[in-house]
Structure 1
Amino acid sequence: MGRETLPLKDGWAAVDGGTTGGSTADDAHVFTVRNRNELVRALDGGSATPKIIQVAGTIDADTDDDGDHLDCADYATDGYTTKKYLAAYDPRTWGSAKPSGPQEEARQASAARQAGRIELAVGSNTTLVGLGDKAVLKGASLQLKGADNVIVRNLELRDAYDCFPLWQPNTGGLGDWKTAYDNIWLRGATHVWIDHVTLSDKGHPDAEEPTHFGRNYLRHDGLLDITNASDLVTVSWSRFADHDKAILIGNGDTATGDRGRLRVTLHHNEFESVVQRAPRVRFGQVHLYNNRYVVPADAHDYRYSLGVSTESALYAENNAFTTPGHIEAADLVKSWNGTALHQSGTLFNGYPVDLLAIHNAYNSGSERDLTADVGWTPTLHTKIDSAATADREVARGAGAGRIP
């Protein structure tokens, strides 16, 4: 599996010679890793040397050099405690100013200590693959910064837990908690194939965190963020579960350098118990086909699935949504400054629907009407099945440990 490459025409990552990862690695650069130290050595500081890294068993990124587990108290420094931080920046006494002073400085220092352990740089020409059906990378944030030609497959990535969330006041409202770590973050990365990966908050769901300052004390950021002019990415047969923000493509309305980039294909993925961003798109040409969405009946915090934002060109076809609770088809699409959405072959609870028409009918006045012309038609894709067929196949085959 480590030497397998992206199939021809399998989405945007197949452009310009495709995505081959570390398939050309010599024997000296094929590693089997079982703990954080071995993984860090194999990653080689994000070097571009072709390499194949095989993950065996469960690797905990929150460990010291002796392999002992580290918790939040071990990272805390300079007198930081959650109790002191909450007391210092309570909006009732602190007001709406940005946090500053000793406790914020201590939070930053503590966060830097955690980041030094759990942020792992993945360099160009790398294949990171799980062995067997139970390979897990726990507590880590994979950072693909400027990397080209990377494959991540057959791996469960879970619980990139932020010990030190930042309070962000808002003069017009309550403010919110900002967290630091995505399970996978692409920044200026190109030719990336993510396949049969499972991403979740397993172990520390945000829903079980307390409320501080009237807001849920979030501990997780995105599952997969594709930002900063990243390009030519295919995400296939993966599972995104039990999380707030799943996939962000394009991180700012003013990031005009993203124009002509952020070309992403998402196919045969499962989004289960995801609150929002599945995906949210700015600028990019994104092909979204044969994906499965499941919103449980008790998901009262659900916001939307498809986010249509500034200059996005989202081409969605033959996706299936199952929402047995109070969610309506009109809830599936949310627009911020978006102008267009192509959709076809959509199933909602087993029935065909036109998401574009429903969005325009139900959101007229509150959101801009969307047109069907996104300015492009995908040509790079595998066989596109009906939404009903894809729904069944993805339920059986998406996620880590399920490569045929």
Structure 2
Amino acid sequence: MRARGIAALTAALGLLCVPARAEARDISRDTLATDDGWAAYGTGTTGGAAADDAHVYTVTDRAGLVRALDGGSDTPKIIKIAGTIDAGTDDEGHRLDCADYATDGYRTKKYLAAYDPRTWGSAKPSGPQEEARQASAAAQAERIVLTVGSNTTLVGLGDSAVLKGASLQVRNADNVILRNLDLRDAYDCFPVWQPNTGGLGDWKTAYDNIWLTGATHVWVDHVTASDQGRPDSAEPTYFARNYLRHDGLLDITNGSDLVTVSWSRFVGHDKAMLIGSGDTATGDRGKLRVTLHHNQFESVVQRAPRVRFGQVHVYDNRYVVPEGAEYRYSLGVSTESAVHAENNAFHTPAHVEVADLVKSWNGTALHQSGTLFNDWPVDLLAIYNAYNSGSERDLTADVGWAPTLHGKIDSAAVADREVARGAGAGRIP
């Protein structure tokens, strides 16, 4: 009687019963769709979907993550990251800073004094301070480099899974899924001075947020990668060059192949994505087949991506250059690259021109169609060739292949809206 009375009173007062919030869908055993880009080719990409219950882990700290990764073993495994994990911690979870890694007498001031070009010259650094730098760098790498092995799914739980200060490295592994992760600040405490780089010398850093090297069948989805917290723009200048602390956000090199990168955000960085190791790395021929779709490149200076050798399908991506941001180019066309770009949308301030979006180093071809530039349809290839007439070799439209592995390709206008709403960690529907 009492229960019926409460129900009647509730109805009389016009109160509504609000259902409990539904539990988030378990995405940990999701596999790549059979047509979703190059990573779907052949055997496809299933990650750790075949893992037994004993190899499904939920981790909340670095120590737990390291145990679950099992040294990069190829045992099928699913690793779920809950909350924020900081890779730069000791075994008890205490935060480590650069001074904790420094060893053998390394000091930044001593290093700068030892290799000042005015006294050292243009020779490659050597001697006690460079040896100390290498030892210190090795100590840092031991903590922050996390190796992901074959048949692994590494996935964030909910909308707040963060991995700070780590370099996820997929080395000579096959069948890997990385999803729903906010990857921040792969910070190098010990950059090396390279006197002969770029004519003026430059600082070289060691760590990408994600590095695929010799990796095959990899799906990177709904990942956010950034330098959040410690941007290179805030670093000092030494030897008239910015003291860089970050390398790439996602680099795909050394014969990696069959990769799909989807619905991800690459934010606030200089050199975002390199596909290909170097102009002389001819072993990459026939490999580096990569699909990039529905990603957002935001406040990225260059390499979105830069490609050598690979057959790369770049479609339905969104590029945002904020007012006042440094910008060089987006699509880098390098040695023997075959980039097929379609239906991408670019948003830039007034000082960026259409011809700035493409940069060529020994490249010969670029397919492009359906491009929007500040909401206007443009032909990137025609404008690039016209702008660079007489100074650089024209790019042809024939890249020698046409993509067949892909889902529905939306117009650039539709993709622009969808990517703005749905790309990045914490946004899997």
1:313 partner amino acid: A
For residue 114 of structure 1, the aligned residue among 134, 140, 143 is 140
Structural mapping, 1:139-218, within 5 Å: 139-170=165-196, 173-218=199-244
CA distance in 1, matches of 2:227, 2:350: 23
Distance in 1 between the 2:67 and 2:350 partners?
A: 48
Equivalent residue letter for 1:316: A
**1:245-264 correspondence runs (5 A):** 245-264=271-290
Q: Which amino acid aligns with 1:222?
A: G
Aligned to 1:99: 125
Match of 1:278 in 2: 304
The whole-number CA distance in structure 2 between the counterparts of 1:332 and 1:366 is 17
Residue 104 of structure 2, aligned match among 70, 75, 78 = 78
Partners in 1 of 2:257 and 2:390 — Cα distance?
A: 34
Amino acid at match of 1:383: K
Q: Deviations over 1:334-355 (max 9, x none)?
A: 0000000000000000000110
* CA shift in 2, pair 1:81/1:247, >3 Å: same
> What is the CA-CA distance between 1:171 and the residue it aligns to?
8.1
1:130 is the counterpart of 2:130: no
Q: Say whether 1:337 aligns with 2:362.
A: yes
Correspondence for 1:323: 348
Partner of 1:88: 114
| Alignment root-mean-square deviation, CA | 0.8
268, 283, 292: which is aligned to 1:266?
Answer: 292
Letter in 2 for 1:14: A
Question: 1:400: which partner in 2?
Answer: 425
- In the other structure, the counterpart of 2:3 is none
Aligned to 1:365: 390
Distance (whole Å) between structure 2 residues aligned to residue 47 and residue 363 of structure 1 = 49
1:65 aligns with 2:82: no
Distance in 1, matches of 2:407 and 2:232, equals 35
Distance in 2 (CA, whole Å) between partners of 1:63 and 1:237 is 30
Q: Hey, what's the Cα distance between the residues in 2 that align with 1:147 and 1:100?
A: 34
Which aligned pairs between 1:19-34 and structure 2 lie closer than 5 A? 19-34=45-60
Do the aligned partners of 1:298 and 1:325 also contact (CA within 8 Å) in 2? no
Q: For residues 292-318 of structure 1, what are the alpha-carbon distances to aligned partners after superposition, in whole Å with 9 as ceiling and x for unaligned?
A: 00001101x311000000000000000
In the alignment, is the contact (CA less than 8 A) between 1:291 and 1:318 conserved in 2?
A: yes
- Aligned counterparts of 2:419 and 2:256: Cα–Cα separation in 1: 26
Separation (CA, whole Å) in 1 of partners of 2:321 and 2:277 = 25
The one-letter code of the counterpart of 2:174 is D
2:372 counterpart (347, 358, 369): 347
- Distance in structure 1 (CA, Å) of the matches to 2:276 and 2:110: 35
Question: CA, structure 1 residues 341+172, in 2 after alignment: closer, same or farther (shift >3 Å)?
Answer: closer
Distance in 2 (alpha carbons) for counterparts of 1:61 and 1:307:
32
Structure 2 residue matching 1:73: 3-state secondary structure:
helix
One-letter code aligned to 1:369:
D
Provide, for residues 53-82 of structure 1, a one-character-per-residue CA deviation record: whole Å limited to 9, x for no partner. 000000000000110000000000011111
- Pair 337,171 (structure 1): closer, same or farther in 2 beyond 3 Å: closer
Q: How far did residue 364 of structure 1 move? A: 2.1
User: CA-to-partner distance for each residue in 1:29-72, whole Å, 9 max, x for gaps?
Assistant: 00000000000000000000000000000000000011000000
Q: CA deviation at 1:395?
A: 0.3
CA contact (8 A) 1:296 1:325 kept: no
Cα distance, 1:366 vs. partner?
A: 2.7
Moved over 4 A (4+): none
Aligned CA distance change for structure 1 residues 49 and 340 (closer, same or farther; 3 Å): same
Match of 2:82 among 49, 56, 59: 56
8 A Cα contact 1:177 1:215, kept in partner = yes
Q: Which has the larger radius of gyration?
A: 2
Q: Which amino acid aligns with 2:181?
A: L
For residues 297-312 of structure 1, the aligned pairs below 5 Å read: 297-299=323-325, 301-312=326-337
Which AA in structure 2 matches 1:126?
T
**Cα distance, 1:239–1:332 mapped onto 2, change above 3 Å:** same
Note the residue ranges of structure 2 that are not aligned, 5 or more in a row. Answer: 1-26
Secondary structure class of the residue paired with 1:182: coil
Structure 1 pair 149–172 and aligned structure 2 pair: CA distance change class (3 A): closer
Check conservation: 1:336, 1:367, Cα contact below 8 A.
no
Letter in 1 for 2:104: D
SS at match of 2:113: helix
In structure 2, do the counterparts of structure 1 residues 281 and 26 end up closer, same or farther at CA, with 3 Å as the change threshold? Answer: same
Rounded Cα–Cα distance in structure 2 between residues aligned with 1:172 and 1:254: 17
Say which SS state the counterpart of residue 78 (structure 1) adopts: coil
Contact 1:181 1:221 in 2 (8 A): yes
1:387 paired to 2:412: yes
Distance (Å, rounded) in 2 between the aligned partners of 1:336 and 1:171? 16
Amino acid at match of 2:153: T
Counterpart in the other structure of 2:260 = 234
Query: Any unmatched runs of 5+ in structure 1?
Result: none
Partner in structure 1 of residue 21 of structure 2? none
User: Distance in 1 between the 2:198 and 2:207 partners?
Assistant: 26
Partners of 1:100 and 1:364 in 2: CA distance: 44
